[in-house]
Structure 1
Amino acid sequence: MERRFVAEAVMLAIYGQLLVPAQPVEYVMPYSSLMELYDLLESPEPIMSMEEDDTYVRTYIKGLIGFFEEPLNKKKIERALVSPWKKSPGLLVNQRVTVTVVYALENAEYGERFDPIETDLILLSLREKLPILTDQLEFVDKVIHASIPVQVFDIEDFDYAVEADVPMEF
């Protein structure tokens, strides 16, 4: 059975284990997180604290951008940009990983507490009834304190989230 998670695109660049799960996984990503890849790459701010890690992650971000810009993938993504909440057809990363891009429409519902990408993740999770996979502990704390009815897995619990028979309804 394929496990599905809402995640940011940059997570695939930072955490290589997301690309080699024990069973098939689909990552559902808001389009805004794809656009964030370009911002991260162009930013003079380090992505990772160690220079060697930063260089490594930037290389993977370039590769990920290249993947999303491949003609067939780009065409699939553009189909999703026609209307709000439309999903792209699945983008096959490898035999076990698929990415679906959703043109999430951020609204002001969570805008004061969360940044636009966090809001997109929450709204996408609520809409698709999927858990969020993140490495941002502050984000997890904010979700808990705001009593938002979404399931969130820390990246450290990825293997558990994929393999365990955790109910995905909340």
Structure 2
Amino acid sequence: MSRRFVIEAVMVAIYGELLIPSAPVEYIVPYSTVMELYEFQNSQEPLMHDPADDLHVKHKINELITYLEEPLNRKKIERALSNPWSKSPSILFGDNIVWTIVNAVDNERFGDFLDPIETEIILTAEREQAPILSDQLELIRRIIEAEIPVQVFDIGDFDFAMEDNIFFNKLR
């Protein structure tokens, strides 16, 4: 059985260990975070503190964009954009990784408490009944403080999350 996580596209570029999971995994990616890849690609602002790491991550972002723009993958993504909350057919990344792009729609449910992308991540996690995987400790803290009924893991706990047998449904 594949483990599922809601994640931002850039996290896969930053954290290489996400590309070599110990078991099959499905990353559910809100489309707005795919669009962020283009912003990061064109930005002069560093993503990482170390210049060598920054160069490496920007190279990985370019590779990810190139892969997602391949005709078959682009066609799959475009299918997801036909309606709000539509999902793409599976996009394969090697033997153990599948991406599903979701045309998430921010409904401002959390107001100023969360930004639109954070809102889409949480709403996607609720709809898909899948935990969130994030490196944003502030987001994790706000989810816990607001008692939002989603499961969330820090990326540093990725191996634990892959082994974890506590599923989203148990939170309800």
TM-score by length of 1: 0.98
In the aligned structure 2, how far is the partner of 1:149 from the partner of 1:14?
Answer: 27
Q: Following superposition of structure 1 onto structure 2, how do residues 3-152 of structure 1 map, counting pairs within 5 Å? A: 3-152=3-152
In the aligned structure 2, how far is the partner of 1:15 from the partner of 1:43?
Answer: 19
Per-residue displacement from partner, 1:122-145 (whole Å, max 9, x unpaired)? 000011111000000011011111
Corresponding residue SS for 2:113 = coil
Residue type of the alignment partner of 2:88: S
Any stretches of 5+ residues in structure 1 without a counterpart?
none
In the aligned structure 1, how far is the partner of 2:117 from the partner of 2:40?
Answer: 13
In the aligned structure 1, how far is the partner of 2:167 from the partner of 2:76?
Answer: 30
The alignment of Structure 1 onto Structure 2 pairs a total of residues equal to: 170
Per-residue displacement from partner, 1:62-103 (whole Å, max 9, x unpaired)? 000011100000000000000000000000011000000000
Corresponding residue SS for 2:59 = helix
In the aligned structure 1, how far is the partner of 2:150 from the partner of 2:11?
Answer: 19
In the aligned structure 2, how far is the partner of 1:34 from the partner of 1:80?
Answer: 12
TM-score by length of 2: 0.97
How far residue 111 of structure 1 moved from its aligned partner, in angstroms, is 3.2
In the aligned structure 2, how far is the partner of 1:34 from the partner of 1:51?
Answer: 23
CA contact (8 A) 2:68 2:74 kept: yes
Sequence identity percentage: 54
How far residue 166 of structure 1 moved from its aligned partner, in angstroms, is 2.3
How far residue 167 of structure 1 moved from its aligned partner, in angstroms, is 2.4
In the aligned structure 2, how far is the partner of 1:50 from the partner of 1:91?
Answer: 31
More displaced, 25-34 or 159-168?
159-168
4+ runs of 1 displaced by more than 4 Å?
none
Residue type of the alignment partner of 2:130: L
Structure 1 vs Structure 2 CA RMSD:
0.8
CA contact (8 A) 2:150 2:168 kept: no
Residue type of the alignment partner of 1:21: P
